[in-house]
Amino acid sequence: MTYSTTTSANSRPVARLEAHRIVLIAIGIALAATAAALMRWDWLPNYYALAIEGLWRTVLILIVTCAIGFALAVPLGMAQVTGPIWLSLPAKAFCTVIRGTPLLLQLWLLYYGLGALFPHYPWIRESNLWPLFRQAWPYAILALSLSCAGYEGEVMRGAFAGVPLGQLEAARAFGMSRWKVFRRVWLPQAIHKALPTLAGETVLQLKSMPLVATITVVDLYAVALRVRQDTYVIYEPLLLLAVAYMTLTGVLVWIFNHLEARIPVRVG
Amino acid sequence: MTESLLLPLAQTGVFELLAPTPPGWGGNLLRGFINSMGIGMGAFALGLLIGTGGAYGKLYGGAVLRDLLKVYTTLIRAVPELVLVLLIFFAVPDVINRTLDTLGYRPIDVSGLVAGIAALGLVQGAYATEVLRGAILAVPQGQIEAGRAFGMTPTMLMRRITLPAMLPFAIPGLANLWLVATKNTALLAVVGFNELTLETRQAAGATKAYFTFFMAAGVLYLLLTLISNIFIGRVEHWARRGLPPIAESR
Amino acid sequence: MKILSKMTIAGALLGTWTLVAQAEQVKVGISAEPYPPFSSLDASGKWVGWEIELIGAICSEAKLECIINPVSWDGIIPSLTSKKIDVIMSSMSITKERKKTIGFSDKYYSDSSYVVAGPKGLAMDPTSEGLKGKILGVQVSTNGQIYASKHFGNSLAEIKTYQTQDEANQDLVAGRIDAVLASPITIGQFLNTEQGKACCRKKGTVANDPEIMAPGVGAGLRKGDTELREKINAAIKGIRAKGKYDKITKKYFDFDIYGG
């Protein structure tokens, strides 16, 4: 008796359409139908185009900041594992500071903090880069990239440290150069090890995307806010936003699962 | 060059601005910090409560309960915290007061503190459920079976065997959740709750010393994280007593 | 002896109970973002300003026990409808759009025209032509935003919306936007600060649009909350008649902000 209760939790068949699931799905559909019927959706056509633009911007910022973040995370992780102290210490400090403070604060520090310093340095406004600096999105990209680098740098540190030393020694024994060892053995193995965690970090990054709306970047969340401000409809745009983010998260998880499945695992 | 860089900071007088008594805004920052801590602790505690229930429900509950919990953890973890906070922050007082209204009671005042704790606690609960579920699964099943064989009641089994045995596996995840909880309190700035980030912004807006105040708030958050880390290290050491030490590089 | 003390306690309890019952508790919602000189947080953590003093005067006139409740500006109407607060007194203009969702008291001050401010070196007219290709900053959910998108929407390069006027001003100082559009009192306040004097000037008042310009600023209430509305209206009349209104106004402004 005891045996069956302890194991039933893990050995239950998954993804079977049992009777109670059909009921649950029916309840879910009924809830969605009530929401669609009873809540106010008349604003939807007016904001459709804006919402698509916001969605596109959200996805674009996610891709760009994740790419930059990961490119920074590899050296950050490497520096902490094998770097000399004058490299590993700043790298560690950077990761600690980024991970130890709220992203919202980092964002506001960069946007409003730097903005408050501009009037003191007139030459910034005369420089060629001013048209870039005066917009909001470079600050959003910078803050989110640094944040991503901080979190993923920590992940990569663990992943680099986790590659067995024997593998690296074997590669060296084959006469590979240090760079080649890194490129052919160390990095691929570390990424493979870290992939599930990186997927999680990317989902977290996606979920912090709405914060950019607080520094006047018009993303998907900002569009939902605008609907609320224009029409005073509170819950409907937020619910739709939640559904949109759930879909994005689903797509992201699917992509990462696909990626993981493509890496062959050899069992020796 | 350095002189001109430091000029805007020196002009305003960093220490005067951050002084804890009225002409300085340090007192406001500290009050915000205490509010943040209160929300963070409340949300973490609520999250633990939901998490413990959720983990047990997911492992030992009936089929319907398990599916419902799965929906809860999946939904909460897929939607941005800011959106959830906004939804819950407005919805919780609304639902409570509408229910009271229909039952014929006077509406009550749901303070920002309570709504904030509810919002962040529900988010924390979803993550805590997963952390604790994993930790319970990591306990060697033989230990639990042995407990049952000794005729322990389910509560005694939980108190004596499952909880202490799963603690070493749960602490890293829970520690991470605590740090997330403290940082997520910043999101309540967006709904107008006077926690550290909003206090900072108000102080910065009034004095125009944006850089100084955001830096100061950053230092406060960072100190909280670093002190928490020391404390977490101690707790982990205590929870792992009697277990073999973990190798440094995994 | 024991009985006596019990009776006094009961009496004291009854006394406080009647006291509480006399003054009705009302939660007054104000914007959590500073809006000087109407409401802002000072270094000791207290809310101060013209509107805060006015709330005090109105509440004591109407014999209401008021609790000031800061809420984020863009969530202030949802907070009212979800009964988190009972009345909004946060420089909210009486507009048609808002009237669809909430009710208003009589106006308690007027701040209905709009002016444009910009960097002092840059010439610009507060017209569609004069603002061509410029980036304009406005506070979100205000008539200024509606006015800007209706009249200047086609010629401006961009309208940037901010949670508070203060942030818009900050970005004007930083040079991230070319102009801000807001009510004369708000702009005047900003241009009088050291920062405002150093960077920017008033560029003129925009053309009148009776469709958008509000009859004034009133207290926002839930629709159907007539009892509270009547009390507040009577209190506004009362403090104006008794001179309390002018006394408070003199402390902050050198002109009458009630308007005609």
Q: What are φ and ψ of residue B225, in 5° steps?
A: -60, -45
CB A107 within 8 A of CB A139: yes
Please report residues of C whose CB lies closer than 8 A to that of B93.
82-84
Question: Domain boundaries in chain C?
Answer: 24-111+215-252, 115-205
**Exposed/middle/buried for residue C88 (C-beta within 10 Å: 0-12, 13-18, 19+):** buried
Domain-embedded: residue B88: yes
Of the candidates A163, A153, A156, the one whose C-alpha atom is nearest the C-alpha of residue A194 is: A156
Reported as a pLDDT band with limits 50, 70 and 90, residue C21 is very low
* Secondary structure letter of residue C100 according to DSSP: T
Report residue B223 as tokens.
């100190």
Provide ipTM, 2 decimals.
Answer: 0.83
Q: Is residue A257 part of a domain?
A: yes
**CA distances to A101, B29, B218 from A98, in Å:** 6, 20, 10
Size of interface B-C (CB pairs under 8 A): 69
Please indicate whether residue A130 or residue C2 has the higher confidence score (pLDDT): A130
Chain C, residues 152-191, CB within 8 A of chain A, namely 160-163, 167, 170-171, 173-176
pLDDT at A5 over 50: no
Q: Which residue has the higher pLDDT, C127 or C2?
A: C127
CB burial of residue B136 (10 Å; 0-12, 13-18, 19+):
buried
Is C80 in CB contact (< 8 Å) with chain A?
no
Mean pLDDT of C107-116: 86
In this chain, the answer to whether the domains covering C24-111+215-252 and C115-205 adopt an identical fold is: yes
Q: How far apart are CA A195 and CA A198, in angstroms?
A: 5
Q: What is the pTM of this model?
A: 0.84
- On the question of pLDDT at A70 being above 70, the answer is yes
Question: B194 vs C79: CB contact, 8 Å cut-off?
Answer: no
C interface test, pick of A139, A227, A229, A239 with most C CB neighbours within 10 Å: A229
Chain C partners within 8 Å of A136 (Cβ): 176
Q: What is the mean pLDDT of chain B?
A: 85
Residue B116: what pLDDT? 87
Answer whether A112 sits within 8 Å of B90, measured CB to CB.
no
Q: What is the number of CB-based contacts under 8 A between chain A and chain C?
A: 46
Single-letter code of the amino acid located at A101: T
Residue A133 to chain C, least CA–CA distance (Å): 8
pLDDT surpassing 50 at residue A10: no
- A135 and C98 within 8 Å at the Cβ level: the answer is no
Rounded to the nearest integer, the mean pLDDT of chain A is 87
Interatomic CA distance for residues A142 and A133, integer angstroms: 11
Task: Identify the chains in contact with C, defined as 3+ C-beta pairs within 8 A.
Answer: A, B
Q: Which residues of A touch B137 (CB under 8 A)?
A: 10
User: Which one of C27, C41, C73 has the shortest CB-CB distance to B202?
Assistant: C41
Q: Write down the CATH number for the domain with range C24-111+215-252.
A: 3.40.190.10
Amino acid at position C13, single letter: L
Nearest to A234 among B60, B90, B190 (CB): B90
Q: Name the residue facing B93 among C33, C36, C82 (closest C-beta).
A: C82
Q: Is residue B181 a contact partner of residue B44, using CB atoms and an 8 Å limit?
A: yes
Q: Which domain holds residue B144?
A: 2-239
Q: Is residue A243 part of a domain?
A: yes
Q: Which of C139, C126, C136 is nearest to C38 (CA)?
A: C139
H/E element holding C92?
A: none
Q: How far apart are CA A114 and CA A133, in angstroms?
A: 10
What are the pLDDT digits (tens) for B94-108?
Answer: 788 778 878 877 767
Sign of CA dihedral B222, A103, A78, B233: positive
Residue B7 has pLDDT above 80, yes or no: no
- Contact state of A119 with C198 under an 8 Å Cβ cutoff: yes
| DSSP line for chain A | -HHHHHHHHHHSPPS---HHHHHHHHHHHHHHHHHHHHS--TTHHHHHHHHHHHHHHHHHHHHHHHHHHHHHHHHHHHHHHHS-HHHHHHHHHHHHHHHHS-HHHHHHIIIIIHHHHGGG-HHHHHSTTHHHHTSSHHHHHHHHHHHHHHHHHHHHHHHHHHS-HHHHHHHHHTT--HHHHIIIIIHHHHHHHHHHHHHHHHHHHHHTGGGGGGGT---HHHHHHHHHHHH---HHHHHHHHHHHHHHHHHHHHHHHHHHHHS-----
pLDDT at residue C41 tops 90: no
C136 in contact with A, Cβ within 8 Å? no
What residues in A contact B221, CB-CB < 8 Å?
100-102, 105
Query: CB neighbours of A201 closer than 8 A, spacing ≥ 6?
Result: A148, A151, A152, A155
Domain that holds residue A60: 44-262
* HSE-up of residue A75 (Cα within 13 Å, Cβ side): 7
Residue A23 has pLDDT above 90, yes or no: no
Return the sign of the alpha-carbon dihedral for residues B193, B196, B199, B200: negative
The domain that holds B184 is classified in CATH as 1.10.3720.10
Please check whether residue A50 lies inside any domain of the structure.
yes
Residues 94-133 of A with CB under 8 A from B: 96-97, 99-106, 108-109, 112-117, 120-121
**Pick from C121, C119, C115, C123: which is nearest to C196 by CA?**
C119
Given the structure tokens 């062959």, which residue do they identify? A264
Q: At what angle do helices B63-78 and A19-38 cross, to 10 degrees?
A: 40
**C5 has a pLDDT exceeding 60:** no
Neighbours of C149 (CB within 10 A): 15
Question: What single-letter DSSP state applies at residue B23?
Answer: T
Query: CA-CA distance, A118 to A124, in Å (whole number)?
Result: 7
CB C163 within 8 A of CB A229: no
Look at residues A69, A66, A97, A92 and name the one whose alpha carbon lies nearest to residue A81.
A92
Give the pLDDT of residue C20: 44
* Sign of the dihedral defined by the CA atoms of residues B117, B122, B126, B132, in that order: positive
Rg (CA), chain A: 24
Interface residue of C26, C67, C79, C82 to substitute, partner B, most B CBs within 10 Å = C82
Tell me the chain A residues in contact with residue C175 when contact means C-beta distances shorter than 8 Å. 118-119, 125, 130, 134
Specify the number of domains making up chain B.
Answer: 1
| Chain B contact partners (≥3 CB pairs within 8 A) | A, C
pLDDT category at C1 given cuts 50, 70, 90 is very low
CA distance A110 to A87: 24
- Residue of C191 and B93 predicted with greater confidence: C191
Could you say which of C43, C75, C83 has the minimum Cβ distance to residue B25? Answer: C43
The predicted model gives C39-46 an average pLDDT of: 85
Number of domains in chain A: 1
Q: How, if at all, do strands C103-109 and C217-221 pair?
A: antiparallel
- Which pLDDT value is given to residue C167? 87
Site from C41, C65, C73, C193 to mutate, B interface, most B CB atoms within 10 angstroms: C41
Q: Provide CB contacts within 8 A for C241, sequence distance 6+.
A: none
B156-205 residue pLDDT tens = 988 888 888 898 889 989 999 999 999 999 999 888 888 899 899 888 88
Asked if C76 reaches chain A (Cβ–Cβ under 8 Å), the answer is no
Question: Does residue B80 form part of some domain?
Answer: yes
Name the residue among A102, A115, A162 with its Cβ closest to that of B197: A102
Look at residue C210 in the predicted model and tell me its pLDDT.
Answer: 80
Shortest distance between the Cα of A31 and any Cα of chain C, in A, equals 22
State residue B56 phi and psi, 5-degree precision.
-65, -40
- Residue A34 near residue A174, CB atoms below 8 Å: no
Summarize pLDDT for B191-247 with one digit per residue, the tens. Answer: 888 889 989 988 888 888 888 899 999 999 999 999 999 999 999 888 888 777 665
C216 alpha carbon, distance to own chain's centre: 11
A84-112 confidence digits (pLDDT tens): 999 999 999 999 999 999 999 999 999 98
- For residue A220, which of A245, A239, A203 has the smallest C-alpha distance? A245
Instruction: Look over chain C and give the mean of its residue pLDDT values, rounded to a whole number.
Output: 85
Read off the CATH number of the domain in which A52 is found.
Answer: 1.10.3720.10
How far apart (Å, rounded) are the C-alpha atoms in residues A31 and A21? Answer: 15
Confidence of residue C65 (pLDDT cuts 50, 70, 90): very high
pLDDT tens digits for range B100-150: 878 877 767 677 788 889 989 999 999 999 999 999 998 888 888 999 999
Distance from CA of C250 to the nearest CA of A (A): 32
The amino acid present at A78, given as its one-letter code, is M
- In terms of Cβ atoms closer than 10 Å to its own Cβ (0-12, 13-18, 19+), residue B11 is exposed
| pLDDT, position A14 | 52
For residue B94, the chain C residue with the least C-alpha distance is C82
Domain C115-205 carries which CATH code?
A: 3.40.190.10
Token pair 């540190």: residue: A157
Rounded average pLDDT over C169-182: 90
Res C57: pLDDT:
94
Q: Taking CB atoms and an 8 Å limit, are A24 and B78 in contact across chains?
A: no
Partner-chain contact C174 A115, CB within 8 Å: yes
pLDDT at A9 (0 to 100): 45
Contacts 24+ apart (CB under 8 A), A192-197: A192/A263, A193/A159, A193/A162, A193/A163, A194/A155, A194/A156, A194/A158, A194/A159, A195/A256, A195/A259, A195/A260, A195/A263, A196/A256, A196/A260, A197/A155, A197/A158, A197/A159
Tokens encoding B218:
């950053």
Q: A-chain residues within 8 Å CB-CB of C78?
A: 228, 232, 234
